[in-house]
C-alpha cells in the first residue's frame, strides 16, 4: 500500500477522533451545566418554600404575641381602674395623726392593736401608699405572666 495513503488515513482517523473528542467535551460540558442549573433551580425552589414557611410561622407567632399583649393591656387597664377606685374611696379616711413618736419602739406593745391590723384604722396616706404598691405589684405580676406566656409560645414546637 501506498505510504501516503496510510498517512492520509491515519490523519483522517486522528482528525475524526479529535473532532469527536472536542464535540464530546462540549456536549459533556453542556450536560454538566444542565445538571447544575437543575440543581440550582431545585435549591432556589426549596429556599423559597422554606422562606414562605418561616414567614407564615413568624406571622403566627406575631399574632400570638399581639393577642398576649392585648390581654396584658386589658388586665392592666382593669388593675388601674380598680386602683383609682380604691384610691378615691380612701379620700374619706382621716389623715395620719400628727403625734410625735419615739424612734425606739415600745417592746411592751410590740403587737398591733386588734382594730388597726385589719386595715380599717389605716390613715389616708398609708392606705394610698399600700393601694399604690398593691397596684404596682399586680401590674408587675401581669407583665411577668405575659412574658412567661410569650416565652412558652416561642418554646413550643
Q: What is the 3-state secondary structure (H, E, C) of 63-97?
A: HHHHHHHHHHHHHHHHHHHHHHHHHHHHHHCCCCC
Phi-psi region of 52 (alpha: psi -120 to 50; beta: other; left: phi over 0): alpha
pTM of the model: 0.57
pLDDT of res. 112: 55
Cell matching residue 148? 412567661
Distance of CA 36 to the CA centre of its chain: 38
pLDDT of res. 38: 92
| Residue 121: Cβ-neighbour burial (10 angstroms; 0-12, 13-18, 19+) | middle
pLDDT tens by residue, 4-27:
777 777 878 787 777 776 676 677
| Residue 87: Cβ-neighbour burial (10 angstroms; 0-12, 13-18, 19+) | middle
| Residue 96: Cβ-neighbour burial (10 angstroms; 0-12, 13-18, 19+) | exposed
pLDDT of res. 98: 66
Angle ∠(141,142,148) on CA atoms, nearest 5: 90
Cell matching residue 30? 453542556
pLDDT of res. 79: 92
How do the pLDDT tens digits run along the chain, 157 residues long?
677 777 777 878 787 777 776 676 677 777 878 888 999 999 999 999 999 999 999 999 999 999 999 999 999 999 999 999 988 888 877 787 766 555 555 555 545 555 556 767 778 888 888 889 999 999 999 999 999 999 998 886 5
Amino acid at each position: 500500500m501506498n505510504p501516503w495513503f496510510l498517512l492520509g488515513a491515519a490523519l483522517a482517523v486522528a482528525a475524526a477522533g479529535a473532532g469527536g473528542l472536542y464535540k464530546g467535551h462540549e456536549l459533556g460540558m453542556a450536560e454538566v451545566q444542565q445538571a447544575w442549573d437543575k440543581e440550582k433551580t431545585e435549591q432556589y425552589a426549596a429556599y423559597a418554600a422554606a422562606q414562605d414557611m418561616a414567614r407564615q410561622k413568624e406571622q403566627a407567632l406575631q399574632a400570638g404575641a399581639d393577642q398576649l399583649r392585648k390581654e396584658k393591656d386589658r388586665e392592666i387597664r382593669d388593675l388601674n381602674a380598680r386602683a383609682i377606685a380604691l384610691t378615691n374611696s380612701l379620700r374619706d379616711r382621716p389623715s395620719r395623726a400628727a403625734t410625735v413618736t419615739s424612734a425606739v419602739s415600745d417592746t411592751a406593745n410590740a403587737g398591733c392593736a386588734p382594730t388597726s391590723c385589719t386595715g380599717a384604722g389605716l390613715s389616708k396616706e398609708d392606705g394610698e401608699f399600700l393601694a399604690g404598691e398593691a397596684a404596682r405589684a399586680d401590674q408587675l405580676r401581669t407583665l411577668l405572666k405575659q412574658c412567661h406566656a410569650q416565652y412558652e409560645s416561642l418554646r413550643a414546637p
